[in-house]
Chain A
Amino acid sequence: MSEVRSHADDVRLRAMLVAADEAALTEAYDRHAPSAYALAARITGDPCCAEDAVQEAFVELWRHPERFDPGAGSLRTWLCMLARRRAIDLVRRQSAQRTHLTRLAGQAPTEPTVEDDVLGAAQAKAVRECVRDLPQLYRDAIALAYYYGLSYRQVAVELGVPEGTAKSRLRGGLRLLAERMEAQGYSLTGQ
């Protein structure tokens, strides 16, 4: 799927969703639920919680489609952001923060079970490879911030390092990942 077509599809789905056209909701679900579910499952480590997070993300989209701005990012990114936030909320309700490092240690990268479009699959593979190639210290800081919603100060506490160290690992890792993806010619709109 080309970036232009992906953007046009997102704008079309947004208009239909605003008009309460249920076909748009099912189309958005069929396209993007696998990304949102994989993300929620990685965060929660629990299929039931992941299902709840995905359901809440799509219901939120259905209730307030106007909040999705196709000019600022793709529908897939938007839905994943909603699912991520719900998943983090569920994890926070259910477990103590001290389990983070344990979870990270056991969180080997999973291989995809469904890849429904060629560009999305290629891009996802590139992301996984870029993450894999990051130094472990950067990966841990990013995982704590992104998958668990921790600030760099909280990351410092979790990792037992000075705040400045946590900040530089987190921001250095984020920057490296962005640079490596862009160096491979990827942009955000094809997601």
Chain B
Amino acid sequence: MSGHPDDLLEAYAFGDCADPSVAAHVGSCGACSALVSTAARTAAWLSASHFEAPPIALRSRMLTAARSARAPSISSALDAYAAQVASFGVLLDGLSARDWQAPVTGGRTVAELVSHLAANDARVADDLGLSAPPSVRLSPSARLSPPPGGLLPVAGLSSSPVAGLSSSPVARLEWRDRSDRLLRTVGSRADLLGHPVRLAGRIPVRRPLRDALTQRAFETWIHDSDVREAIALPPVSPPPLHLARIVALGLALLPGAMDSAGRGRPGTTVFVRLTGPGGDSFVVPMSAGPASGGSPVAEIRLPAERFGRLLAGRIPVPASAAEISGDRSAALDLLAVAATLGCE
């Protein structure tokens, strides 16, 4: 086996060897890759072959050490986005090579949609003045190497239903890099939450970072639904608390959007009653101009989840099945503008 790093293969498989030349060889040698795969699988089983409760005091000692190594987040502003990142990550891990090329709404493929999402995530980080981490500048082949001390992208793990990230499109790796960057930065910098950044979408708007994070959760949810639709999986709604934040942001953006669309009606309000999980009632001004204090001219009633999809342009106004009473023209104007608040 001259030329093979024969004596290092078990160390590599067990995570003890971060020598990049070994990683490169294993990645290109079928025989060594098979040996490493077997050893890594066996190591994984051996590692969890026993359970023993550690002393109770270790838990608090570990937490104290962890806090001194990295401060925990003190804000809940990331909750909705982190939840959507997790949901989308699970979905992407399960995609086949064919799924990645499936067409989604807007004429894109799934891979192109994920790249688009990664770009919008990156834009928020860029507005915060964060530079891209080195990993996103690596070539695709370099990205496949295990990080120092990292678990291995072992070929044999492809028999697992969730394995195979190493063969994922670059878009998957880009999106994870971008979302990681945003999560990590904001998790440690609550002071940035009031920092104005650009929102994604057709109309240029700058809002505090905390709103941009809600919009990132919104867009990630919507594209999660797009991918699910493309591969014939049922959609999944955000948790009610997160959905409530998303629709509240959409409604907060509406007065300015009405003016930008030339449909502003200063001094006029509409009562919007969002029903079901994440629902609430809102009095929405139809212009960012001065309020009159008068009664709403119309009432719109529809499920919060449906309103969220309408905001993303995924449900046309006529199909939204919104119940309208009062000034129908005003209500339809509001819904028409609401349907332009997606992140495309």
Q: Which of B143-165 contact A (CB under 8 A)?
A: 147, 149-154, 157, 159-165
In the complex, the 7 A-B pairs of residues with the closest C-beta atoms, listed nearest first = A71-B165, A80-B47, A20-B187, A38-B50, A22-B72, A38-B52, A127-B49
Q: If A71-B162, A71-B165, A71-B166 touch, does A37 touch B45 (CB 8 Å cutoff)?
A: no
Does the CB pair B151–A72 fall under 8 Å? yes
Can you spell out 11 A-B residue pairs with CB atoms less than 8 angstroms apart? Answer: A7-B93, A18-B187, A21-B187, A33-B59, A66-B184, A67-B149, A84-B14, A112-B51, A128-B49, A153-B7, A188-B157
Measured CA separation A191–B45 after assembly (Å): 8
Does the CB pair A151–B93 fall under 8 Å? no
Q: If A85-B16, A123-B45, A127-B46 touch, does A72 touch B166 (CB 8 Å cutoff)?
A: yes
Does the CB pair A68–B151 fall under 8 Å? yes
Does the CB pair A14–B86 fall under 8 Å? yes
Does the CB pair B164–A71 fall under 8 Å? yes
For this complex, into which size category does the number of interface residues on chain B fall? 35 or more
Q: How many contacting A-B pairs (Cβ < 8 A)?
A: 260
A171 interface residue per 8 A CB criterion: yes
Measured CA separation A69–B16 after assembly (Å): 17
Chain B residues with Cβ below 8 Å from A18 are 82, 180, 183-184, 187
Q: Which residue of B lies closest to A41 (CB)?
A: B52
User: Measuring CB to CB, which residues of chain A are less than 8 angstroms from any residue of chain B?
Assistant: 3-4, 7-8, 11-12, 14-16, 18-22, 25-26, 29-30, 33-35, 37-39, 41-42, 47, 50-51, 54-55, 58-59, 62-63, 66-74, 76-78, 80-82, 84-85, 88, 110, 112-116, 120-121, 123-124, 127-128, 130-131, 142, 145-146, 149, 151-153, 167, 170-171, 174-175, 177-178, 181, 186-189, 191
B73 interface residue per 8 A CB criterion: yes
Q: Which residue of A lies closest to B49 (CB)?
A: A127
Q: Which of the residues B11, B55, B165 comes within 8 Å of A72, measured between beta carbons? A: B165
